[in-house]
Amino acid sequence: MNAQIQFSGGFQNAPIDAAHAFRVAMTVMARPGEIRSLSGSQPPAPLSVAAGTLLLTLCDPDTTVHLAGATDTDAVRQWLTFHTGAPFVAASDADFAVGTWQALGPLGRYRIGTAEYPDRSATLIVECDVLQQTGAELSGPGIRGTSRLSLPDGAAFRKNAAQYPLGCDFFFTSGDKVAALPRSTQIRAEG
């Protein structure tokens, strides 16, 4: 890999860019179904801008990452190692996992926390072709009434939510767009 590519693409002004990205990440997690713009990094393909920016913001040398499917490239590994120092692990040991829905599956591979430590679960960053506020109906904390979000597999997310307070949390990324689905959100079939 070209060293220039490996070392480039990170935050231009790390403290400000990371703070902005963290705020966007926490906002979408607190407001399931809301879609926001998230930029600040230029990750190597096939990572989207939003997925790369999330990884730079949320990962460090103590945060494990699983790269699923096409995201598991030398370029992505070297870029993340340089910018975050995050170690790469199998799905079962991951704090964060990134890839398409098909590459990430099945969900049973990821940690869902324990009764004593429900926070010790994985967060999956699902790369999507498109994000839209249509499709599955969402309700629960952070949602006034209901919201909608295009989900790749409503049944899998309903099963995940049924395990609450255990389960995985999700970010959905497409280009520079991001949305989130915490495990506390209830999902109804598309209407």
Mean pLDDT of 57-78: 97
Two tokens at 79? 């870029």
Query: What is the residue range of 176's domain?
Result: 3-188
pLDDT for 190 equals 67
Structurally, how many domains does the chain consist of?
A: 1
Tell me phi and psi for residue 162, to 5 degrees: -65, -15
H or E stretch covering 157: helix 154-162
Instruction: Identify residue 120 by its one-letter amino acid code.
Output: R
Please, what sign has the CA dihedral across residues 71, 161, 32, 93? negative
Mean pLDDT of 25-53: 96
Q: What is the CATH number for 96? A: 3.40.50.11310
How far is the C-alpha of 109 from the C-alpha of 98, rounded, in Å? Answer: 13
Work out the pLDDT band at 1, boundaries 50, 70, 90. Answer: very low
pLDDT for 17 equals 87
Average pLDDT, the chain: 93
Please say if the pLDDT value at position 177 is more than 50: yes
pTM as predicted = 0.94
How far is the C-alpha of 164 from the C-alpha of 182, rounded, in Å? Answer: 10
Please say if the pLDDT value at position 16 is more than 90: no
Please say if the pLDDT value at position 151 is more than 60: yes
* 6-10, 66-70, 171-175, 187-191, range with the lowest pLDDT: 6-10
More confident residue, 18 or 22: 22
